[in-house]
Every structure is written in structure tokens, then in C-alpha cells.
Structure 1
């Protein structure tokens, strides 16, 4: 059981998040004023760029940790696309967000391929 507790914790977290999502759906306002809006968006792009760079460097060195950074970078790309689309206005802003989401989906797909692909990596140096 000691090796399974993190998995049990993850499963319990998933179950407990369902009522929390219902609370949010019922109580959150439809719109809001946000401070530091540019910083929030730039921060996602900084994370994505750092993930791409780190994955590339580790991958080119043959370091197996590239799988971890690729996985994290895929998650950030999907998150960025989600926020692009869900916060875009109608018309041209939504079209732009959808075009960006296509590029981010391609990036996420490439990262997932690197994370779970059959490429052989050497073990990282201690």
C-alpha cells in the first residue's frame, strides 16, 4: 500500500474536485476586472519558452529528463490555448485565439511525442 498512496491521493483529489467545480460554476461571476493581465499572459509564454528550451537542451544531450520537461511543456501549451480561447472576445480576437491554439496544440503534440516516444535516452549524470 505504501507505494500506492500517491495514486490513492490523486484519485481522492479528482473526486473532491467535482463538488468544488460545482461551487465555482454557481458562484463565480461571468466577467471580472483583472489586475496584472499582461503579466499573467506573458508568464504563460515565459513558461512555455523555458520548457521548450530546456526540453531541447536536455534532448540534444540525450538526457532522459527531457521526457519530464516535454510533459510539463505540453501541459503549459494546452493551458495557454485554453485560456486564449476562453478569454477571447468574439470575431477577430476569437479567430486569432483559435489560430494560436492550433500552433499550441501542435507544440503540445510534439512534446507528448517526445515524452512517451520510443527514443532511447541515457541516464542523467548524478
Structure 2
């Protein structure tokens, strides 16, 4: 679809829209994974240490920020071109920004570091919101 405008979002209520046939096993697999993660979360809650030392801490955060930068650049490019794939990259950026804010706040030490993490979480979550809006909005009017 490069160079074309994005199609209207397909919904179950859109008349005349032919969607691809659904793959029957997908809901079962995803439902099983979701159900299996519930007890796993309790196992983690009881077994993970309260603190830990992390190797390559700077590389982990730099890599995350580079992934966000690449995702933003890709989304900007595709959106500018009217490419429907902008929704995919925007979705990834939204997830990364929410995760970034979550880990910033939860790994910060009390006091000034925590206050800074919360202050940084505000624009991170705002970007996640903008990207989510982009994913969900009716994009028929894109350039």
C-alpha cells in the first residue's frame, strides 16, 4: 500500500467490508497463554527477589530508547506517506513507551529519583496516548 491512503478501519459493523477469514486456533492459543500467565504471575510474586543487580543496565535502557526512536521515525515516515503500516509501528511505540514509564517509576529509588521518574513518565505516557490515538482513529483522511 505504499503511497496510497490508509483504508478506513475495518470493524464488524462496517457494511460491505470483507475481512480475511479468522484462523480458528488463534483465540484458543492466546486464551491459554493468558490463563497460564495468571498463576505464573503469582509464582513470580513469591519467588523473585525484592532487589537485584543487573548487568548491562545502561545497554538495556539505551537499547529501549533506540527502539522507541526507530519506531517514532518509522511511524512518522509511514504516516507521512499515508501507509497503513504506520498503525503497526505506532502500536509498538505505544507499548514501548508504556513499558518505559512503568519500569522508570518502579525501578526508581525513593525521593528525587522517584520524582524525576514520575516527571519523565508524563511525556512518555503522553506519547503512548498519541500513538494509541493514531492506531485507533479513522485514518481515511490521511494525506
TM-score (norm 1): 0.92
Is there any run of 5+ residues in structure 1 with no aligned partner, and where? none
Are residue 98 (structure 1) and residue 113 (structure 2) matched? Answer: no
Match of 1:86 among 99, 103, 106: 106
Match of 2:53 in 1: 33
SS of 1:76's partner is helix
Q: Which has the higher helix share?
A: 1
Is there any run of 5+ residues in structure 2 with no aligned partner, and where? 1-21
Asked which structure has the greater CA Rg, the reply is: 2
TM-score (norm 2): 0.81
Match of 1:75 in 2: 95
Q: Deviations over 1:42-100 (max 9, x none)?
A: 11111111111000000000000000000011000000000000000011101110011
Q: Give the deviation of 1:8 after TM superposition.
A: 1.5
Match of 1:17 in 2: 37
Q: Distance in 1 between matches of 2:30 and 2:124?
A: 27
Q: Distance in 1 between matches of 2:73 and 2:141?
A: 17
Deviating 4+ runs (over 2 angstroms): none
Task: Work out the number of aligned pairs and report it.
Answer: 122
Q: Distance in 1 between matches of 2:71 and 2:27?
A: 26
